[in-house]
Amino acid sequence: MAVRVYGTLVGLYPREFRDDYGADMVQLVRDQFSDEPAWRVCGRAAIDLAITIPTQQMEARMNRTPSHFVPLIYTAAAAAGALFAIVGGTNVTMLVIGACIAVACGTMAGIAWRRSGPLHATTANNGWWKFVIAGPCIIAGVIVAAGLGVEAWFAGVVAVFFAFVLTGIGLLLGVAWLFSRRSPTLRT
């Protein structure tokens, strides 16, 4: 059953990637299940899918070298979780939820950064404005959801923290982009 679920999730890859590698990926997981414990294969496959599906989808749409978008998103989510835990203070539920988000997303960010390579001044700066715009859009979504009667206070607070962190990342990348355009020594 796990191989069938994995095969279904492979369907989330872009068509060209899926056509080239999909059958081999499913066969590899099938072979791994016969050689290794199921928990190890499932864990490794889940991490791989969580990182490579968004990356491959973006690469298929951008037709460029891999971006640092996925690691930045995981980093922002980890920072939002940490903020949630800090703001929660003595509220044990907020502390636990925030810590879990921070640890899980921080781990995924570390893995994603390791796979994407170092961040250069000109690499991620081309899309800095997307991060700046994403923050207010997420906050607007939280406001609209609250107005429609959605009662998810914890999720709303984490989403607002995530929005602030995304906007901060966008502003930092924007400043780096300005400096890289002015100073030839920062270009790599």
Q: Do 4 and 80 share a domain, yes or no?
A: no
Q: Which residues contact 33 (CB under 8 A, 6 or more apart)?
A: 2, 3, 41
Q: Do 37 and 88 share a domain, yes or no?
A: no
Q: Do 72 and 6 share a domain, yes or no?
A: no
Q: Do 89 and 156 share a domain, yes or no?
A: yes
Residue 41's domain comprises 1-64
SS3 assignment, position 113: helix
pLDDT one-digit tens code per residue, 111-158 = 887 777 666 655 555 677 888 898 899 999 989 988 888 888 878 888
187: left (phi over 0), alpha (psi -120 to 50) or beta: beta
Q: Which residues contact 167 (CB under 8 A, 6 or more apart)?
A: 131, 132, 134, 135, 136
Last residue of a domain, one of 31, 64, 97: 64
Judge if pTM exceeds 0.95: no
Q: Do 34 and 73 share a domain, yes or no?
A: no
pLDDT tens-place values along the chain, 188 residues long: 888 888 888 888 888 888 888 889 889 888 988 888 888 888 888 888 888 888 888 877 765 555 677 888 888 889 988 988 888 878 888 889 889 999 998 898 888 877 776 666 555 556 778 888 988 999 999 899 888 888 888 788 888 888 988 888 888 888 877 777 665 555 44
Instruction: Specify the number of domains making up the chain.
Output: 2
The total number of residues shown for the chain amounts to 188
Residue 73's nearest CA partner among 86, 58, 95 is: 58
